[in-house]
Amino acid sequence: MTLKITWNEASARRMERQCLAVPARGGTPVADVVGAMLGAHAQVLSAAEVSVGVRADGVTRADVRAALWEDGSLVKTYGPRGTVHLLPTAELPLWTAALTAIPSGRSASAPAARLTEEQADEVVAAIGDALDGARLTIDELSDEVVARTGSWAGDLVMPAFQGMWPRWRQVMHRAGQRGALCFAPNRGRKATYTRPPRFEPLAAEEGLALLVGRYLRAYGPATPGRFAKWAAAPRGWATELFASLAGSGVIEEVDFEGPAWVAAGDTEFPGEVCGVRLLPYFDAYAIAAGPREVLFPGPAYARALAGGQAGNFPVLLVDGVVAGVWHQRRRGGRTTVTVEPLEGLTAERERELAVRVERVGEILEARAELVVGTVTAGPHA
C-alpha cells in the first residue's frame, strides 16, 4: 500500500531539515547550513546572508562573508537554474557533475549570435585558464577570453540592459557550473572572478542520483515536474530520470497530492509545523517546496508571486505556508522591516513576528524596527 503524506507532514519535515523549525546550533559550520538548503540564492548577497542567518543561531552576515572570502568553505558561483548561488566548496564535485549533466534548453539568443558547442567548450576552457590564480573584472576577463579564442568571442551581439554584451558571455554560467569560474571579492564596486580550488567531478550518473536524493530529502515528497522546475530541466528528461532511479531502488513512490517521490527508505515524517518565519528574496524554501498553489494559498498566490514565479518578494510564513510579504529598508545602522500580513495575526503571533524581525536585524548587523502595514516595494526591489 502506498504511503500517504499530508501537506502538514511534508511541510513540518521540510522546515525541520531546512533548519527553519529549529535553527542549527551555534557553532554549526555555515557551509553545513548552506548544504542543507541545497544552496543559497545569492544574486543579492544580503538576501543569501538572511537565508543562512535565519537557519543558524548567532550567525550574522559577517560569518557568511568569512566563510565565503576568508576560510573558503563557501563559494559564490552559478548553481541551479544557472543563477548565482552560495554552495559549499566541498560539494563542488557533486554540483559540477549534476549540473553539467542536466540538458539545457534552446538558446534564447538570436541564431546569428549563438555559439556552437565547440565554441562554447573553447570559451569555458579559456575562462578557466584566464582565471587560474588570478582575480579579474568582467572587462579584464573579456579581454583574456578573446585573446585565447578569437575576435568572434568578443562580438557585441547580446542585448543587455543599456548596451550589448560580447558573445562569449552566453556561457558564463556554464563556466561556473563546470568549475572554471567563481566570484572573488569585489575590487572597489566592481565584481571580480577567479577559479575555484581544483577538484575532480563525480561521474555524471552518480552526481545526478545524489542530487535527486538530496533534493528529495530536503524538499520531498516531490514530482519529476517540480524537480525539473527547480533545476530548469526539461520535464520529459526529469520524468525519465526519476523512472530510472525508481527502477534502481534509489527513490520510492508515495501519495502526496497524487503520485510523488521520496528518497528510498526516507519515509518518517514529524508532526505539524507551527510558528512565524521571515524568508528573504529567492529563499530556497520558497523556490523548491511545493505544490506551489498549496505553499502560496489563496491571496498569497497573487500577492507573493510575480507571474507565478516565487522569490520576487520576501515572504512571511505562518504555520508553514505563505501568509504575507515583507520588505526591509536600511538607513545607516537601522533597518525598517515592513510586514504585510494577508490575514490578521493573533497577539501571540505578533510577538513572535517581532522576535523574527529583531533576528533579521541581528543578521544584517542593524537595529531593526517592525512596521505592520502595506509593502509598497515592487517585486525584487
What pTM value is reported for the model? 0.95
- By residue range, what is the domain housing residue 149? 105-198
Same domain? 147 vs 68 = no
pLDDT digits (tens, 9 = 90+) for 131-166: 999 999 999 999 999 999 999 999 999 988 778 999
Number of domains in the chain: 3
Let me know if residue 90 belongs to a domain: yes
CATH number at residue 152: 1.10.10
Let me know if residue 236 belongs to a domain: yes
pLDDT digits (tens, 9 = 90+) for 247-261: 999 999 999 989 999
* Geometric angle at alpha carbon 371, from 369 and 376, rounded to 5°: 120
Same domain? 287 vs 258 = no
- What pLDDT does 113 receive? 84
The sign of the dihedral angle between the CA atoms of 87, 93, 97, 100 is positive
Q: Can you tell me the mean pLDDT for 22-41?
A: 97
Let me know if residue 381 belongs to a domain: no
pLDDT digits (tens, 9 = 90+) for 265-281: 999 998 777 799 999 99
Q: Can you tell me the mean pLDDT for 198-216?
A: 97
Measure the CA–CA gap between 46 and 42, rounded to whole angstroms.
8
Q: At what angle do helices 204-219 and 235-247 cross, to 10 degrees?
A: 90
- What pLDDT does 109 receive? 77
Measure the CA–CA gap between 133 and 381, rounded to whole angstroms.
36
Domain-terminating residue out of 272, 307, 328: 272
Domain-terminating residue out of 272, 292, 324: 272
pLDDT digits (tens, 9 = 90+) for 291-310: 999 999 999 999 999 888 89
Rounded alpha-carbon distances, angstroms, from residue 355 to 154, 238, 349: 51, 41, 10
Measure the CA–CA gap between 23 and 38, rounded to whole angstroms.
16
pLDDT digits (tens, 9 = 90+) for 76-116: 999 999 999 999 999 999 999 999 999 987 777 778 888 99
**E strand or H helix that includes residue 62:** helix 61-65
Measure the CA–CA gap between 311 and 85, rounded to whole angstroms.
14
Let me know if residue 178 belongs to a domain: yes
Q: Listing from the earlier edge strand, what are the strands of the sheet with 182-187?
A: 136-137, 190-194, 182-187
Let me know if residue 21 belongs to a domain: yes
- 232: cell is 530548469
Measure the CA–CA gap between 363 and 12, rounded to whole angstroms.
24
Q: Label residue 381 by pLDDT band (50, 70, 90).
A: low
Measure the CA–CA gap between 3 and 305, rounded to whole angstroms.
31
